Every structure is written in C-alpha cells, then in structure tokens.
Structure 1
C-alpha cells in the first residue's frame, strides 16, 4: 500500500465535516474542529471551492456548504449501487438456468471486485463472496473488462514491463501474452478463464453496457472442472452473453455494444 498524501487526507477531513445534514461551516470553524493551521485550511477550502466540492452559502459571507461536484460523485456511486441490485436479479435468473455460480464484477485499476453473486445449488460449486478482489488478468470477468478499455488506458494500467502475479500455474504472467489474449476476447465478444485463478474452476464472461454504451461490468459463470468441457464452455458463453445483454438493457442500453456478440468461446 502506498503512502497517504497529507494534503489529500486533510481535504477529505474537511469534506467529511459536512456529512451532517444541512451543515454549513466557516474556515475558522473548520480550523478549530480539525486543529489545522489557518493558512492550510484557507488554501484547502479555496481549492475545494474552485473545484466545486464546496460552495459559498448565499447571503452568508465566509460560510460554505457541499458543492455540486459531491452530488455528482454521489450520483455515480448510486448508479453503481443500482448496478449491483440489477446485477443480482439477472445473476439469479442466469443461475436458475444453468445451476452454476454467477458473478457480476467491476474493474478497479488492474483488479476486479465482485459486486454481486448467486451460488449454484450443487454440492460441488465455486466458493467465493461479493466484495472479493482478484487480479483482473487471472479472471474471465477481468479479461472482459480489460479488453473493453481504450488502448491508451490499457497501456497506462499495464505497461509491457509490468510483471503479472500468478494465482495458479496456468495464470498469464506477461503483459505481452495478456494483450494477445485480450485481442482474441475483443474478436470473440466473450472471455474464458481456465483454471487461472483457481485450479479447480473455469469461467466464461460477457460484457455489461450502460445507457451510453460503455462497458461498466461483466457477468461470469463459474464451473468446477468436473462439469467443464468444450461443449459446456460454448453453451455457457452464450448464456453469459444473453444474461449480460439483459442486464445491459436494465441499465438503459439500447442496441449492440462493441463486445456483445459472442462468436464461440475459442
């Protein structure tokens, strides 16, 4: 974990003072509450106001309240909560069809975070939990989400010199190999992971689009190796694509996205 930046921490401390409903504060009040130097508070408040994280209270010179940018951030977070709720509903439908474990995941830097999960009812099934974080390159959902990134964004997250950690002896360990794999994912429209994050499990995944057509998540189906085969893989890839399509529709997506048409899992 990297070093915390003191200036950012102090700015966030200031914003968190406004969490109480209808709170307005002046710079001197913030200084007293946080025990920070007056000059530091003045500079931070000025910066936060300039970026619309704080705004001046009309008719009350020197007093501030939360600005429109915090509302925009909160709205974005709310959309993610909607994604999780809608995702659980669709994941349940998909799981009822195939009786395998279904996940919905989002991308954060080079990891995936599972935001929804519905278990298989079978005795032998994948064991996982919503909230779990895994390296994206080791998972089908992660490959799907990485493949959706613009080239420049992918370069920034995964420079060629960066080593990739292995979770099993089948994990991809070089960015060059991963990029070759992602090109195939884009061509196919679905992603496959065979024992790369768990030696006993393989997965297929498909992309979820929002109303603007952006890939915001991926839906995966995880299968123990005792039930995995080429035929089962292709069958579940099609089912994952249909489920991801239904979730995309729930999020307001209309029309095909760049990664929504599966053409076989290999």
Structure 2
C-alpha cells in the first residue's frame, strides 16, 4: 500500500465530520474536533468550498454544510450499486464463515423472492435457488420484511390475502398469530423460522437497509435440523445481523453502534 497524503486525509476527515449531528459545522467546531491548527482548517475549508464540497449555510455566515459536489459523488456511487450483486458478495462472505446456505430476499406483496443465494458445502443442505418465490409468512426473510412494514400497510396486505397458506405443519396460518410473531420480530430485530417452509430446515434472518434507513431486503442463514440447536441459533443470529449490516453499509446505510 502506498503512502497516504496527509492533506488529502485531513480534507476527508473534515468532510466525514458532516455525517454526524445536524450536518452543519463552523471552522472552530472542525478545529476542536480534529485538533488541527486554525490556519490549516481555514485552508481546507476554503478549498472545499471553492470545489463545492462545502457551502455556507444560508443566513449563517461561518457555518458550513455539505455541498452539491458531495451529493453528486454519493449519487453516482448509489447508481453503481446493485442489490443482487452486493447481496451475492456478502452472502458468500457469510456462507464462508458458517458453511450454511445464505439467502438475500426482497418482498413482493405477501411473497419473498430470493435475489441471491450461496450454498453450504455440506452434503446435507437446503435446496433452493435465486429467483424462487415463497409465501413470506413461512420464511424468516419474509417475516423480517413483513415486520418492517407500517402497521396499516401490513394489515391491508394480510386482509387482502385472505387465507394464509401452509407449507408445513408448522406454518403460521392464523393472521392474529402472524401479527403477534411479527411484533416480536420487530422487537428483537431478527426473525426465526422453525420448519415452516421446509420440515427439515430452520432459518434466522436480519434486515437489510438502504441509505434512507428503509428495509429493502433481508439476509437469512438456513440450516438443516441435524445441525440446529438453540446455541447455534444464537450464533447464527449474530452472524446474520453482521452480514445484513455489511450489506446495508454497502447500500449507503450508516450502522450505529451495537
């Protein structure tokens, strides 16, 4: 790795300060936070303003916010992102850690569609495929995505669906039971499925968020019951959350401290 350029590093440090708080800072604020000389901060801010990375807040001389150039760079980055491609990348990393099948799915009405999948290397593993559609209420990814919906929208979708189909004897078919499970899922921040879409498989899932904080997908880890236990569930839940956070970060979401 080549040598870092101190001036560029400092300029980037200045820009990254604007990601916190209300997004506005004065030169003294920057000086205090970065512990830099006032003259250095003045030169950095002057240069960033000249290049439209910072602008003066209207009506507040001496206070700055991110400028249009910062927005343009962020927008170009967002345009280059592809949820499926990023999902496959993160799924490979998660599967490489636990050697179980990992899915990334999105919600469509009351179904989930798998947009990325990486298989376990075990001989006994979940059989599925990217592009497959399943009832959301029977899967951990589906429960996670349903739990993220506003209450009014969730109730409307459930009411319009009518009967909730069962895929196994463990599938939830009662709307009130589903609402209770989703409330618990929302509270915990993870979703669990015990043999509800496949009688031989259990899964755990976590939410994937975009730059606005909206849940746009879910990442799950699916495990045959011969390798499932309460202890394994806890470990996999933590791994699913980490993987979902990594994917969220790649989509522009700022993950807070855990």
SS at match of 1:240: helix
Contact 1:161 1:175 in 2 (8 A): no
- 1:250 matched to which residue of 2? 250
Consecutive aligned runs of 4 or more in structure 1 exceeding 4 Å deviation: 78-81
- 1:79 is displaced (CA, Å) by 6.5
Within a 5 Å distance, the mapping from 1:169-208 to structure 2 comes to 169-208=169-208
- 2:106 matched to which residue of 1? 106
- 2:35 matched to which residue of 1? none
**1:169-202, Cα deviation, whole Å (9 max, x unpaired):** 0000011000000010011110000000000000
- 2:87 matched to which residue of 1? 87
Contact 2:110 2:161 in 1 (8 A): no
CA 1:195–1:111 in structure 2 vs 1: closer, same or farther (change >3 Å)?
same
- 1:255 is displaced (CA, Å) by 3.2
Structure 1 residues not aligned, in runs of 5+: 1-74, 262-266
Contact 2:81 2:251 in 1 (8 A): no
SS at match of 2:226: helix
Aligned residues: 182
- 1:81 is displaced (CA, Å) by 7.3
Query: Using the alignment, how far apart are the partners of 2:103 and 2:128 within structure 1?
Result: 9
Query: Using the alignment, how far apart are the partners of 2:244 and 2:100 within structure 1?
Result: 15
Contact 2:148 2:215 in 1 (8 A): yes
Query: Using the alignment, how far apart are the partners of 1:146 and 1:100 within structure 2?
Result: 24
Q: RMSD value over aligned CA atoms? A: 2.0
- 1:160 is displaced (CA, Å) by 8.5
Query: Using the alignment, how far apart are the partners of 2:223 and 2:255 within structure 1?
Result: 30
Structure 2 residues not aligned, in runs of 5+: 1-74
Matched, 1:225 2:235: no
SS at match of 2:204: strand
Query: Using the alignment, how far apart are the partners of 2:126 and 2:112 within structure 1?
Result: 17
Give the alignment's TM-score, normalised by structure 2.
0.68
- 2:154 matched to which residue of 1? 154
CA 1:81–1:129 in structure 2 vs 1: closer, same or farther (change >3 Å)?
farther
- 2:48 matched to which residue of 1? none
Query: Using the alignment, how far apart are the partners of 1:195 and 1:79 within structure 2?
Result: 38
CA 1:195–1:79 in structure 2 vs 1: closer, same or farther (change >3 Å)?
farther
- 1:238 matched to which residue of 2? 238
